[in-house]
Structure 1
Amino acid sequence: MASERSFPVITGIAARLPGGDGAEGLWRAASTPGAYAAAPPSWSKRDLLEAVVDEALAGAGFPPGPPRTGTGVAVVVCAQADARDSATAPFLHGANTDVLSTRAGRAPVTVVSHACATGGFAIRLAAQRLAAGQADVVVVAGASVSDPMEEMSLEAVGVLATGAVRPLDTERGGMAVGRGAVALVLERAEAAGARGGGGTIAVAGTACLVKPSRAESDPAAMGAVLRAVLSPADGTGRTRVDAVCAHATGTALGDAVEFGELASLGEELGWTRVPVFSHKGALGHLLHTSALAGVAHAAEAMRRSLLPATPGCAAPLAEHPAVRVSTERSPARLRRVLVNAFGFGGNYACVLLETSGYERELVDD
């Protein structure tokens, strides 16, 4: 098992979502069925990105002005890599990096685009940069604002709901596109500790896979990425989890495949009724930014020792000996949570979060 101090830690979380801002606002919004419908029409990706990057760095304890660190700060933006997108097109051409925040200065900006798994890929890239010493601080940010082309494409493949969004429900009928922005500040644990920045939730593992396919979920690819994050090639098996923040958007096929693969994996690993939850019935599907919302939501649940419910789910999928759908918020000791993010075209990503001192807690148990 790699030392926990080698894992990057989350030191800042910021959000702009219907129903609330910041980590507290995200927590409230993620528990409110249909919150996605209240997004202001005036929101723009550019303004949202600037706001959340600035607030995430402030929340991490950095004073006004560019962070002063040994190797500096880097920014990773989750976006649709499309020149039509006026908010992110400048980043694709290496210009206007100051648009994100004066706090970030002229930090190098990288745009990542892997459909709805983008956030997971971005977090993996951030962790790799920190491990390689290329930066002391990496801000991962993304924004989702209604794009007619995106919604038309989702409508064309028949995945948009005509009524309430009901993830992991036997009567689910599709997803809703969410609107908002999330930013996470990741730091090497040693660097965060040295400046007194703390950080009690670590990114203990990531796994990403691209297997070109059509829109539908590929069970084999999904299973492969799940196994990769819990049984990495370095032999540091991390098979035990306390909960899963599912990708589950409310689609008929996607939710069933994901829950089925979690059940199969859980059976192999000896899980017992591990709770699976989704916030998509509240926040909607934030597309390229969805994994960041998932990680932020899971981190808040771990910090609060509260297992989230699954808003919109009234008739949960049949319980399996290994996994069950969480339908009620309840107190829980959440020390390791798996976050899933899957996208059209064969993009799959998983992020494993872990509390500081997790291995010592296992010994105490």
Structure 2
Amino acid sequence: MTQPIYINSWASISALGSNPETIWQAYLDNNHYLKKRDFNQYTAFVGRLADEDYKLIENIKNSDNKYKNLDKSVLFALYTARLATKKAGWDNNDNFGVNFGSSRGATELFEKYHQEFLKTGVSSTLSSPTTTLGNISSWIAHDLQTNGPEISHSITCSTALHSLLNGIAWLQAGMCSKFLVGGSEAPLTDFTVAQMKALKVYSTKNDTYPCKAFDVNKTKNTMVLGEGATAVCLDIKKNNQTVATIEGIGYATESLQHNTSVTKDAECFQKSMKMALKNTDPSTVDAIVMHAPGTIKGDSSEVNAIAKVFENHQPFLTTNKWKIGHTFGASGLLSLELALLMLQHQKTISVPFAPVQKQPKKLNKILVNAVGFGGNAVSVLISK
């Protein structure tokens, strides 16, 4: 990075809640927020929004007649974008850029319209504009009345952190002074969950913790899907609202041996972490919020990569997927939120079934990881 970039606000919605106070309280307990849900052909654990938070999304849906035909992934994004920019004090005069990503996009609407087409042979009028990936950022820009650049993209499960990278690139290039970045995902549909089951990665556990993310001793895959979104306001200037500084970013892609493969020692993570730590002594990193999807190979390879990079100075390790599930393209920024909350409250959040770790005396620097199908890893270093 050529200069630090500042995080001046953020907002999220997930199975943990929709405001920082509620979310932090949820992190402080040892409970997960995954619930069983009945699908057409099966029952599965998912990380679903609470009913009271769905009322907030319903309010967004009813706030504009045009929004009544939008997918949940767009509505989640609108909710978090409105809240984050309000906290930052931005308005349409700021002319900020928007980059919101999603791994799957309008999953629910796409499946609905496709089923209608199979039954009738006719496509609904709005089936195309409401299911394009680009409509997430377009509707945010419309809702917030900004004239800045608007970008939507997908790079599987590292999408949200790639949004952050894109925003930083625009800011450092001098093409914008403020950028709204985010990730949103609403994947709790019959076909999407069935796809994960077909890959043999979905949890079949019925004990205390359905998702055993960061348990490197597990003998079965335990991934669980969740839904949610996060919006983050980036600025080139530090002000009284600044909550954290982005000190380093890293990214890498490794050669694929299989569609979902990652090497034993996650070479992509080793490269992305080293890039993010280019100007930082690794021993000064206090904690890492891992990607840790709850799969055998995914979790163990990331732990191995961290050991390779940090050697005898391993930071405190944590993850949030055992609580909220894997939110695909939104997951990286929901992990960033956990890092921001830990910095703010100066407290680590332990995974209850993970090995006991040495607690850092202070939390000054935290690294956040994400990776997706295709071996595309991102690492982001933030500081207090």
Query: TM-score range with shorter-chain normalisation?
Result: 0.7 to 0.9
Q: 2:223–2:326: 8 Å Cα contact kept in structure 1?
A: yes
1:304 aligns with 2:345: yes
Q: 1:210–1:346: 8 Å Cα contact kept in structure 2?
A: yes
CA RMSD of aligned residues (A): 2.7
Q: 1:165–1:281: 8 Å Cα contact kept in structure 2?
A: yes
Paired residue for 1:248? 292
Where 1:76 maps in the other structure, the secondary structure is strand
Q: 1:50–1:100: 8 Å Cα contact kept in structure 2?
A: no
Paired residue for 1:167? 213
Take 1:18 and 1:202, find their aligned partners in 2: how far apart are those partners? 27
Take 2:271 and 2:362, find their aligned partners in 1: how far apart are those partners? 27
How far residue 56 of structure 1 moved from its aligned partner, in angstroms, is 0.3
1:21 aligns with 2:18: yes
1:217 aligns with 2:227: no
Q: Deviations over 1:214-251 (max 9, x none)?
A: 212222222222222213xxxx2442200010111211
Distance 1:260 1:137, change over 3 A: same
TM-score (norm 2): 0.76
Q: 2:367–2:382: 8 Å Cα contact kept in structure 1?
A: yes
Distance 1:92 1:110, change over 3 A: same
Of residues 49, 55, 58 in structure 2, which corresponds to 1:39? Answer: 49
How far residue 147 of structure 1 moved from its aligned partner, in angstroms, is 3.7
Q: How does 1:244-323 map to 2 (within 5 A)?
A: 244-267=288-311, 270-271=312-313, 273-310=314-351, 313-314=352-353, 316=354
Q: Deviations over 1:111-166 (max 9, x none)?
A: 12111111121111111111111111111122221243432222121111112111
Paired residue for 1:348? 377
Take 1:160 and 1:223, find their aligned partners in 2: how far apart are those partners? 26
Q: Deviations over 1:13-53 (max 9, x none)?
A: 10112242122233234455331435258661121111100
Q: How does 1:112-261 map to 2 (within 5 A)?
A: 112-145=153-186, 146-163=188-205, 164-169=210-215, 170-171=217-218, 173-189=221-237, 192-193=238-239, 197-213=240-256, 214=258, 215-218=260-263, 219-231=266-278, 236-239=279-282, 240-261=284-305
Q: Deviations over 1:326-346 (max 9, x none)?
A: 8xxx78511110100011121
The residue identity in structure 1 corresponding to 2:274 is: R
Where 2:144 maps in the other structure, the secondary structure is coil
Take 1:83 and 1:91, find their aligned partners in 2: how far apart are those partners? 7
The residue identity in structure 1 corresponding to 2:372 is: G
Unmatched 5+ residue regions in structure 2? 36-47, 58-71, 111-126
Larger radius of gyration: 2
Stretch deviating more after TM superposition (12-21 or 282-291): 12-21
How far residue 104 of structure 1 moved from its aligned partner, in angstroms, is 4.5
Q: 1:49–1:100: 8 Å Cα contact kept in structure 2?
A: no
How far residue 101 of structure 1 moved from its aligned partner, in angstroms, is 5.8
Distance 1:24 1:331, change over 3 A: farther
Take 2:296 and 2:173, find their aligned partners in 1: how far apart are those partners? 41
Paired residue for 1:337? 366
Distance 1:158 1:108, change over 3 A: same
Distance 1:134 1:30, change over 3 A: farther
Q: 2:183–2:333: 8 Å Cα contact kept in structure 1?
A: yes
TM-score (norm 1): 0.80
Paired residue for 1:59? 87
Unmatched 5+ residue regions in structure 1? 356-365
Q: 1:91–1:110: 8 Å Cα contact kept in structure 2?
A: no
Take 1:205 and 1:96, find their aligned partners in 2: how far apart are those partners? 25
Take 2:27 and 2:255, find their aligned partners in 1: how far apart are those partners? 31
Take 1:243 and 1:121, find their aligned partners in 2: how far apart are those partners? 21
Take 2:204 and 2:273, find their aligned partners in 1: how far apart are those partners? 31
Q: Percent identity?
A: 20
How far residue 109 of structure 1 moved from its aligned partner, in angstroms, is 1.4
Distance 1:18 1:83, change over 3 A: closer
Paired residue for 2:101? 78
Q: 1:10–1:201: 8 Å Cα contact kept in structure 2?
A: yes
How far residue 91 of structure 1 moved from its aligned partner, in angstroms, is 5.5
The residue identity in structure 2 corresponding to 1:266 is: F
How far residue 88 of structure 1 moved from its aligned partner, in angstroms, is 6.8
Number of aligned positions between the proteins = 322
